Amino acid sequence: MRLWLRGLVLQALKSSQAFYGTYGQSTSPPVPKVMATWEAISLGKQSVPEYFNFAHDMLDLWSQLEKAGHRPPNPAFWWVNGTGAEVKWTFEELGKQSRKAANVLEGVCGLQPGDRMMLVLPRLPEWWLIIVACMRTGVVMIPGISQLTEKDLKYRLQASRAKSIVTNDSLAPHVDAISADCPSLQTKLLVSDSKCPGWMNFRELLQEASSQHSCVRTKNQDPMAIYFTSGTTGAPKMAEHSQSSYGLGFMASGRRWVALTESSVFWNTTDTGWVKAAWTLFSAWSNGACVFVHELPRVDAKTILNTLCRFPITTLCCVPTIFRLLVQEDLRRYKFQSLRHCLTGGEALNPDVRDKWKSQTGLELYEGYGQSETVLICANIRGSTIKSGSMGKACPPYDVQIVDDEGNVLPPGEEGNIAVRIRPTRPFCFFNCYLDSPEKTAASERGDFYITGDRAHVDKDGYYWFIGRNDDVINSSSYRIGPVEVESALAEHPAVVESAVVSSPDPIRGEVVKAFIVLSPAYSSHDPETLTKELQEHVKRVTAPYKYPRKVAFVSELPKTVSGKIQRSILRNQEWGR
Ligand SMILES: *[C@@H]1O[C@H](CO)[C@@H](O)[C@H](O)[C@H]1NC(C)=O
Ligand SMILES: *[C@@H]1O[C@H](CO)[C@@H](O)[C@H](O)[C@H]1NC(C)=O
Ligand SMILES: *[C@@H]1O[C@H](CO)[C@@H](O)[C@H](O)[C@H]1NC(C)=O
Ligand SMILES: *[C@@H]1O[C@H](CO)[C@@H](O)[C@H](O)[C@H]1NC(C)=O
């Protein structure tokens, strides 16, 4: 494999197909020849080689291309913060720093290929280094969002049996409070300028570490990452991804949907909940593009617009909610340096927002659809005709179909489940399974298909039209919130007999969490306002603060099926006036 690759690199350097460009180049140059092979694999036109490692086969390759002058002087990573500090790494520097980080994981932490490491950090450059270091060492990464409470952390550490955790000063005491209950946890790494007893200091260790490291040989199906996904029933599930699924799966969509090249600077403001933040780096780095990061935890409309004026960002991705805020500003007052391609996803895009954005900036908004179990399933790829309101066409190599509940393919125009064919061949760019839960893995399949849990119809031209989720997950300001988690938290309060949590419309967040609560007799005469506040505070304490019910209604009973299951859909329809 390595010899084969080296051959390809030499061939690429000789044929000199690489592209020289500057920021803001508007034409799309050909993929450098060596990368064309990977692109063909990413599109499913060639089979995935037995061994694959993103750090070795993509990053180190770009580092060589960069060194040979086959890449414009565009950083690979560009981090800025609110006070104007900047970190810029070329592919070579990224390689060097991540090799040092790999030596920290392997040496001091003693981690072996297949060991699991949880990563809970705000947007610090170290996050990217550790992700790459995990790939170099074969350590399975578990990115977690930083709003996790002790209870959430404990569940995740126990379920995943993670051997190590990396976090910052604020979260360290919470980890300490629960680590006695997490026997598998052996090493704790702190990303900080200060010391903390019981914790190893990542920054110090990184400085001392050697930059010589040889990447482990990983098979394409070896595990690379575990993502916790919130479902409607029960605790969050662990979706396991292989080395090739994200590592190769995002290359083609990065080229075709995100329209990335070696001269692109890609800013995805959506990277809030770290669970899927890795999407951006896989699509950017496999295409030799720069990942741009703004450290601010909350980016507001003005910060986004000013950042687009100050930096040569070519490619922007925001959730529709953010574009809704942006179009409320007077966009003509801003002169964007290099912006040329805009994307959105994660929720349905309002056609009105697309029209306003386009009329004020001249730029189209390209919508895409995918899940953490997959890469990009459907999208409006650059150059295609957009039908406003549609999420575009199926993305290769997926065979996307609308199926009924038994897995039979439905004709165009009929509403059904969005599904991806997994038999006879499971796509390589697909999660391996829900870990430790064969029954959940089986429940996500019907016949020859994986069922996404979302509903849509496809028209006769192959465009998909999103209808809604099959399940009850609430997405408030792009946070996905499983009702069961909130209901379980409420149930811990003595006032609550039972509850049902659904989404409710909100002018700013799109939707918010609403809890319908049946009170215990002892509390039924309490002042509703005081009780509401108390229950909200309780949920914030027990689970992550962003999950608390912004709306609360006290009811005498909840709608139920004959078998006794709470019918959230009835309450939800009532909320939304359906
Ligand atoms: C920005 O980063 C610099 C360098 O890491 C740091 O000294 C400064 O405090 C940061 N500013 C903010 C607002 O975080
Ligand atoms: C640690 O990360 C959390 C979550 O992103 C953040 O709120 C907090 O300010 C960070 N703490 C420090 C000391 O930087
Ligand atoms: C931006 O990030 C979000 C979440 O981190 C992800 O779902 C989305 O697909 C990303 N967008 C692109 C264009 O990569
Ligand atoms: C997520 O919430 C938004 C409002 O913020 C809503 O419009 C959208 O339909 C939701 N996304 C999905 C996938 O249903």
Q: What is the pLDDT of residues 148-162, one digit of tens each?
A: 889 889 999 999 999
Q: Give the mean pLDDT of 53-78.
A: 94
Residue 561 confidence class, pLDDT cut points 50, 70, 90: low
Query: What is the distance between the alpha carbons of residues 412 and 402, in angstroms, rounded to a whole number?
Result: 8
Percent of the chain scored above 90 by pLDDT? 69
pLDDT in tens, 177-207: 999 999 999 999 999 999 999 999 999 999 9
The CA 168 to ligand 2 mean position distance, Å, reads 6
pLDDT value at residue 234: 63
User: How much distance in Å is there from the Cα of 297 to the middle of ligand 2?
Assistant: 9
Q: Is the dihedral of CA 273, 162, 231, 239 positive or negative?
A: positive
Summary mean pLDDT of the chain: 88
Q: What's the CA gap between 188 and 173, in Å, rounded?
A: 11
Task: State the average pLDDT over residues 293-310.
Answer: 89
Lowest mean per-residue pLDDT among 79-93, 318-332, 387-401: 318-332
Q: Which of the ligands is closest to the CA of residue 170?
A: 2
Whether residue 285 has pLDDT greater than 70: yes
Sequence-distant (≥ 6) Cβ neighbours of residue 491 within 8 angstroms: 498, 499
Q: Is the CB of 258 under 6 A from ligand 3?
A: yes
Residue 16 predicted with pLDDT over 70 = no
Strand stretches in 470-538, DSSP E: 474-476, 479-481, 496-506, 510-519
- Is 50-244's fold the same as 474-576's? no
Q: Taking 90 as the threshold, does the pLDDT of residue 312 lie above it? A: yes
298-469: what CATH class? alpha beta
Confidence of residue 296 (pLDDT cuts 50, 70, 90): confident
> How is domain 50-244 classified at the architecture level of CATH?
3-Layer(aba) Sandwich (3.40)
Q: Can you count the helices (H) and strands (E) in the chain?
A: 18, 27
Q: Residue 293: CB within 6 Å of ligand 3?
A: no
Q: Assess whether pLDDT exceeds 70 at residue 68.
A: yes
Give the residue-averaged pLDDT of 128-137.
97
Q: What is the spatial distance between Cα 393 and Cα 420, in angstroms, rounded to a whole number? A: 13
pLDDT one-digit tens code per residue, 347-360 = 667 677 888 899 99
Give 143 Cα–ligand 3 centroid separation in angstroms. Answer: 15
The confidence score (pLDDT) of residue 20 equals 30
- Residue 9 above 80 pLDDT? no
126 band by pLDDT with thresholds 50, 70 and 90: very high
> DSSP class of residue 523?
G
User: pLDDT value at position 276?
Assistant: 67
Closest CA to 272 of 480, 16, 131, 561: 480
Atom 12 of ligand 4, residue of closest alpha carbon: 347
Q: Work out which ligand 1 atom sits closest to the CA atom of 84.
A: 1
Write the class of the CATH domain 474-576.
alpha beta
Residue 2 — pLDDT band, cuts 50, 70, 90? very low
Q: How far is CA 217 from CA 2, 52, 474, in A?
A: 10, 7, 40
How far, in Å, is the centroid of ligand 4 from the Cα of 344?
A: 12
Does the pLDDT value for residue 57 go beyond 80?
yes
Atom number, ligand 3, closest to the C-alpha of residue 315:
13
Per-residue confidence (pLDDT) for residue 30, from 0 to 100:
58
CA of 322 to the centre of ligand 3 (A): 13
Confidence of residue 217 (pLDDT cuts 50, 70, 90): very high
| Residue 17 predicted with pLDDT over 50 | no
Residue ranges of domains in the chain: 50-244, 298-469, 474-576
Pick the closest to residue 317 from 349, 357, 282, 270 (CA basis): 270
Of 98-102, 283-287, 380-384, the least confident: 380-384
- Determine contact, residues 269/216, Cβ cutoff 8 Å: no
Please state, in angstroms and as integers, the Cα–Cα distance from residue 150 to each residue in 146, 175, 181, following that order: 11, 7, 11
Atom of ligand 3 nearest to the CA of 273: 5
Instruction: Write down the pLDDT at residue 27.
Output: 40
Q: Out of 355-359, 407-411, 469-473, 569-573, give the one with best mean pLDDT.
A: 407-411
Token pair recorded at residue 304: 């986004």
Q: Is pLDDT at 219 greater than 80 in this prediction?
A: yes
What is the pLDDT averaged over residues 318-329?
82
CB-count exposure of residue 327 (10 Å: 0-12, 13-18, 19+): buried
Nearest-Å Rg of the Cα atoms of the chain is 24
| 400 or 416, which is more confident | 400
CA distance 271 to 267: 9
* Least confidently predicted of 85-99, 233-247, 338-352, 414-428: 338-352
> Counting Cβ atoms within 10 Å, is residue 417 exposed (0-12), middle (13-18) or buried (19+)?
buried
Q: Is 252 in the pocket of ligand 3 (CB under 6 A)?
A: no
